[in-house]
């Protein structure tokens, strides 16, 4: 019998993958974080985090600078261990299977859990087309141009960028504006057909107009993908997310429905933060 991850790997279209994923839904979150700790060298950056992240919703992680929210999100697709001295304990279950299990290759996890970073990071030596195709082209030995074209167009449409770039797919990705570059990075992440998309302060380098575009985009994507967004902008969390977790000094203080967190927080520290008394 094929395991879930096998089936996901063998699934050729995104629809197939959706089916595999939804198969596991119930009350359970698609990501189940259990007593997660993460270190940088000897510094403990996040302490004992446990939370479920629900499928096809937007979950926001808020908190002041240095509270460990970026570290946390980087643990969800095993990017934390890429940093020098990065170390993790605890487990993160994706569809019930620990992504930190010994036999799991972080490379396959990152194909299923995509990530977009704070600073737009298109590959400067590649064209717009090649940027979007990069994830597919460089994870396979060989790919047909025709197949790539289809995926590139679909991903750019999903990222609401197609109309702006369809006539200049061969230009460098670096020639786009900051907001366009960030949507290009989202398209690039979508092209590998992930199940979950992690966004690490995706709008902090963008102007308000570009920020609104990305937020609209996130709402649309949430119909198909599970989205986790780290943001230091509370209004943004309130605007887009369904669930919100508040982090402080490496600990998760409170986690609940966004409306509850912002209207009647249970913890005094959460209240102080969202009312702007610190942070």
Q: Which residues bind other proteins (CB under 8 A)?
A: 77, 79, 82, 107-112, 114-115, 117, 119, 121, 123-126, 134-135, 137-139, 185, 188-189, 192
Minimum separation from the CB atom of position 47 to other proteins (A): 24
Nearer to other proteins, 181 or 231 (CB): 181
Shortest CB 264 distance to other proteins, Å: 36
Closest by CA position to 49, among listed 90, 93, 87? 90
Measured from the CB atom, the residue of 173 and 265 that comes closer to other proteins is 173
User: Taking the CB of residue 35, how many other CB atoms lie within 10 A of it?
Assistant: 11
From residue 41, give the alpha-carbon distance in Å to each of 28, 53, 250, 266: 33, 27, 15, 34
CB proximity list for 196: less than 8 A, separation 6 or greater? 30, 31, 53, 76, 77, 94, 112, 113, 114, 225, 226, 227, 228
Nearest Cα neighbor of 38 from 66, 70, 75 is 75
- The count of C-alpha atoms lying within 13 angstroms of the C-alpha of 211, restricted to the half-sphere facing its C-beta, is 15
Considering beta carbons, is residue 76 or 245 the nearer one to other proteins? Answer: 76
Given the complex with other proteins, which of 86 and 265 has the nearer CB atom?
86
Q: Give least dist CB 125 to other proteins, A.
A: 4
Tokens 């302060």 belong to which residue?
201
Beta carbon of residue 222, minimum distance to other proteins (angstroms, whole number): 20
Nearer Cβ to other proteins (93/192): 192
Asked if residues 229 and 241 have their Cβ atoms less than 8 Å apart, the reply is yes
Closest by Cα among 213, 250, 245, 204 to 228? 245
Strands (E), the chain: 31-40, 43-53, 58-62, 86-94, 97-98, 113-116, 196-200, 226-230, 243-248, 251-257
CB of 214 to other proteins, least distance (A): 17
Cβ nearer to other proteins, comparing 81 with 164? 81
Q: How far is the CB of 248 from other proteins (least distance, A)?
A: 26
> How many H helices and E strands in the chain?
12, 10
Contact call for residues 55 and 101 (beta carbons, < 8 A): no
Q: Which residues pair with 97 in a beta bridge?
A: 94
Q: Which C-beta is closer to other proteins: that of 165 or that of 192?
A: 192
For residue 101, the minimal CB distance to other proteins (Å) is 17
């Amino acid at each position: 019998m094929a395991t879930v991850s096998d089936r996901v790997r063998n699934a050729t279209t995104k629809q197939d993958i959706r089916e595999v994923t939804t198969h596991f839904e119930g009350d359970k979150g698609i990501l189940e974080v259990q007593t997660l700790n993460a270190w940088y060298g000897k510094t403990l950056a996040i302490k004992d985090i446990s939370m479920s992240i629900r499928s096809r919703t937007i979950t926001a992680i808020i908190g002041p600078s240095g509270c460990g929210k970026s570290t946390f999100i980087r643990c969800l697709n095993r990017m934390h261990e890429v940093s020098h001295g990065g170390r993790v304990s605890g487990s993160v279950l994706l569809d019930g299977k620990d992504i930190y299990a010994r036999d799991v290759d972080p490379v396959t996890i990152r194909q299923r859990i995509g990530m977009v970073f704070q600073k737009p990071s298109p590959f400067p030596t590649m064209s717009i087309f090649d940027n979007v195709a990069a994830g597919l082209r460089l994870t396979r030995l060989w790919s047909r141009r025709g197949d790539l074209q289809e995926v590139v167009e679909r991903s750019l449409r999903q990222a609401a960028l197609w109309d702006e770039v369809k006539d200049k797919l061969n230009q460098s990705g670096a020639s786009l504006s900051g907001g366009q570059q960030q949507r290009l990075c989202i398209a690039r992440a979508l092209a590998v057909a992930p199940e979950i998309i992690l966004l690490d302060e995706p709008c902090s380098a963008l102007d308000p107009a570009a920020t609104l575009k990305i937020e609209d985009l996130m709402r649309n994507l949430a119909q198909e993908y599970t989205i986790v967004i780290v943001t230091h902008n509370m209004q943004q969390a309130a605007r887009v997310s369904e669930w919100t977790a508040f982090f402080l000094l490496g600990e998760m203080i409170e986690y609940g429905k966004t409306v509850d967190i912002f209207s009647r927080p249970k913890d005094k520290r959460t209240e102080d933060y969202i009312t702007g008394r610190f942070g």
